Structure 1
């Protein structure tokens, strides 16, 4: 037990050779001699209400003077006498410091890395579904192109609504559609960071919650290729290198999205039917496309991908839009005038716009686009329309084949020798084309 002295002076502390002494002026304060001979300030006091006792060590004398030790002990006594547990206050201070450190180091770049990890694992949305590769790619593109240059190094807790508004408005000045995509992605990213799903970020307030008010008007695309433009397209694409030529023609024949075409694998094609797995479709529903003789020729490959990359393992996902630009330039030369630009997605609109002309009913036309049924029909009508879709795809291929032959580019485009007349002749025509 520590013995008390009336007045604790430096001389008295210096004279202490072993044991410990208490300060009569400050409850709970004492100084003890360690086995090494060093002298350490200590505090010990029982807490009221059965909360146990408080033990604390300040440090060594004379690094901490008597005045320093008394001030330290007095603060502890004041907290105890006020009914507070200093241990709880210390824990609160540690947590506050942890939060402050987190705020200082949690940059937008670091937070976005955690967000993308959650997106890969299906924790970034309330639906709790893993994002598709294309969605992941779009998110990373928006971040690297539009968000990172302005905000990457800024602590996310310091980002304000004004920062995000400035970002979106600057983008909207030249690219209103992209600005809308940017605003939507900012809302998802910052909304996640401020939600329980993103509690590791610890964002108190979501600065993006009002960004929806900035939506810029968008003009829906209505571009489709006329039959004359399809002829110019076939003549122009005949001069492209084989992969780009095959891929763009397949986009036209199958009405599939460019991302679905370029990532096609040969094992997805069974008995003349190309099944795009649900993981690669926009609506997460597998899509079956009956390939005609020409489609089968265009899909032939001895590689792991129908369109393999040149230098790396994987599909060839780059260069398609540059190829499109070259094709458009050739089309304009053939037409002798400027033509409206088009994207691979416009081939879908072109195919859909010709369904009525080719006497295809609306339900079949929607099925061949892989558009899901709506309402109760989606729940109860599970008929897949596979035969009807097959007839349409064969009819549409025959239509494009006819244009290619009239344009005298059929041989350049690897068209089959014999034209398929109808769905019943599909197998024999395919065999003929393979012979």
Structure 2
């Protein structure tokens, strides 16, 4: 069954074996190439050995023999080849971003990864081979921002760690990850939370919420309805903006946010008070966005539309996300609702693993009472006057 030089030259389209896993592949175009098929740890691999006629039959057999020696010695020829081909940190990082892009819920993640690495890592580590990056190199990249921008610096560290883990998974890097925090960099750098207090989203004091809502009720338009709804439900702005009618059960007053739209990737049910339902407008088709753009059909309002409304109202020192803190402070300081009910209303995960293991209920009915009380506190008599009536 072995090939001959004449057979290699004249073989038709298809795969032609020379024995012991060596094959000549002939494409319909006539292009010919050599492949060695082999198994390592039960997995089949195809190792390209080059194109004919640059690689002759004799040369292909020699390459196949060398690869078989590596396999007998317990090595993987493909992994060895990768290790012999230097890859820079930047190359590995960009590959990782592309590989992860389809799995990210938000397209902004790829842009954030790229921008932070370009700003803080590529200048020092970008051209270095991933095989040679050591602890001192990682610290050198992090130190300039560790004290000035601790939150950003920690994200950068995590991304460096992920890139180096990716290189290890490819088989082009060996040894411990020099960007690992626990048991490594935590001995060399201060904790980010100790460097500077975490900066929270600026929030409205809960004592001022009624006055704010009264001012908001005089505003009309999609952004005003969306902001009012977001506050009444203590939701994240992205959850509101992407909301469709398929997620709303008007009869039972329930908004069910699917897992893929939640930060924790877990389905979340939100009890809707009448004041919140009043912001939804007339019922549309299941696929219709409830808070759709008034200028771009089929698109949600922009992520800045509610912030722009706050600025037009002369609230320049608070954020939309900060209203979740307003709600949390109000509930914790002025009500007797248990902490776990308040945290569940905010869709916060339980950090204590033992406690989380026993938390089977989403405390929905207790949360309904909590959100009804919040609506009473935040709803002025004028709320809804500018809202289209439900059909």
TM-score when normalising by structure 1: 0.57
Contact 2:232 2:375 in 1 (8 A): yes
DSSP 3-state at the match of 1:285 = coil
CA distance in 2, matches of 1:96, 1:362: 52
CA distance in 1, matches of 2:297, 2:137: 39
1:349 counterpart = 2:305: no
Name the residue aligned to 2:53.
none
> 1:261–1:325: structure 2 CA closer, same or farther, 3 Å change rule?
same
CA distance in 1, matches of 2:88, 2:298: 34
Give the gaps of 5 or more residues in structure 1.
Answer: 1-84, 122-130, 333-340, 417-432
Q: What do you get for the CA RMSD once the two structures are aligned?
A: 4.0
DSSP 3-state at the match of 2:269 = strand
CA distance in 1, matches of 2:241, 2:118: 29
1:307 counterpart = 2:284: no
Question: 1:327 offset after TM fit, Å?
Answer: 4.9
Name the residue aligned to 1:264.
243
CA distance in 2, matches of 1:381, 1:143: 34
Contact 1:132 1:280 in 2 (8 A): no
Question: 1:156 offset after TM fit, Å?
Answer: 3.4
Contact 2:235 2:346 in 1 (8 A): yes
Give the gaps of 5 or more residues in structure 2.
Answer: 1-65
Contact 2:258 2:267 in 1 (8 A): yes
Residue pairs, 1:153-302, within 5 angstroms: 155-172=129-146, 174-194=148-168, 198-199=169-170, 202-205=172-175, 206-209=177-180, 210-212=184-186, 213-214=188-189, 215-216=191-192, 217-221=195-199, 224-231=203-210, 233-234=212-213, 237=216, 242-271=221-250, 272-300=253-281, 302=284
Residue pairs, 1:72-221, within 5 angstroms: 88=69, 98-99=81-82, 102-103=85-86, 106-119=87-100, 132-134=104-106, 137-138=108-109, 140-149=110-119, 150-151=121-122, 152=126, 155-172=129-146, 174-194=148-168, 198-199=169-170, 202-205=172-175, 206-209=177-180, 210-212=184-186, 213-214=188-189, 215-216=191-192, 217-221=195-199
Runs of 4 or more above 6 Å deviation: 94-97
CA distance in 2, matches of 1:375, 1:143: 29
Match of 1:323 among 298, 303, 308: 308
Aligned pair count reads: 304
Question: 1:375 offset after TM fit, Å?
Answer: 5.2
CA distance in 2, matches of 1:107, 1:325: 45
> 1:299–1:158: structure 2 CA closer, same or farther, 3 Å change rule?
farther
CA distance in 1, matches of 2:88, 2:133: 10
Question: 1:219 offset after TM fit, Å?
Answer: 1.4
CA distance in 2, matches of 1:372, 1:237: 31
Specify which structure has the bigger relative contact order, considering alpha-carbon pairs within 8 angstroms and separated by 6 or more residues.
Answer: 2
Bigger share in helix: 1
Contact 2:254 2:269 in 1 (8 A): yes
CA distance in 1, matches of 2:199, 2:159: 22
Question: 1:292 offset after TM fit, Å?
Answer: 1.9
Match of 1:384 among 352, 359, 362: 362
> 1:381–1:331: structure 2 CA closer, same or farther, 3 Å change rule?
closer
> 1:189–1:274: structure 2 CA closer, same or farther, 3 Å change rule?
same
Question: 1:157 offset after TM fit, Å?
Answer: 3.6
Q: Which has the larger radius of gyration?
A: 1
